Amino acid sequence: MKRRSAPEVLRVRESSPDEAETSFRELDDVFLQSQTRIWLGEVLHKRFGEEMAVADLLADGELLFQVSKTVRKMILKKNVDMKHSKFFIYEQTSFGKADGRYMAYPKVDSFLKICQILGLTSIDLFSSSDVVERRDICRVCMCVRSLSKKARLKNLSVPDFDIVTYSIAMPTDLVGGLCRSLEQSRSNSSSSNGGSPSMYPRGLYKKARISIFHK
């Protein structure tokens, strides 16, 4: 009697715990930086394009300084008595007189000061060099997230970091460039397919066109 051969066993390569952890960390980093870009834009009522990395966006300290001023106003609006508190007696130093990179440090310090006023501890904070020298942008993003959570606990009107999405429309010039690029893609696709319809999703193209607004 002929013996049946054993069925082939499909071997699936299992990733090591270290590889899995690295993968999750990379996903976390992407999420943190993406949400930081959106959150900052919503707080400042701006929209920042994807062409510049978050580390470069924050390096001069200006955006963090603007956020600190915005949050400071929110705190004072709810706590008028704090207006003369020693915690709030910090003025905009002569940023314009500082040279280059060093001008960013007092701006970042203003942001860190607001974080401390809201109750963030050293575990939540970062060092100014993490921003200016671009040493640890993910730690900076985590701090922005903690600021969002703490501010919301104090009923300040800031968006939830984890779920915030764009509400500011894309600037006209950016959308115009995108639409021209889509038009070119559709034209090239049609030509390469012998005049057949483009494979580019029509709904997405239409959505980009609708997004146009006038400044």
Q: What is the mean pLDDT of the chain?
A: 73
Q: pTM of this prediction?
A: 0.64
* Buried b / exposed e along 14-35 (16+ C-beta atoms within 10 A): eeeeeeeeeeeeeeeeeebbeb
Lowest-confidence pick of 44-48, 76-80, 136-140: 76-80
Q: Which pLDDT value is given to residue 174?
A: 46
User: Cβ atoms within 10 A of the Cβ of 205, count?
Assistant: 17
Per-residue pLDDT tens over the stretch 139-159: 999 999 999 999 999 999 999
Per-residue pLDDT tens over the stretch 181-200: 445 555 554 454 454 443 33
**Res. 204: pLDDT tops 70:** no
pLDDT band at 15 (very low <50, low <70, confident <90, very high): very low
**Res. 101: pLDDT tops 80:** no
Percent of the chain at pLDDT exceeding 70: 55
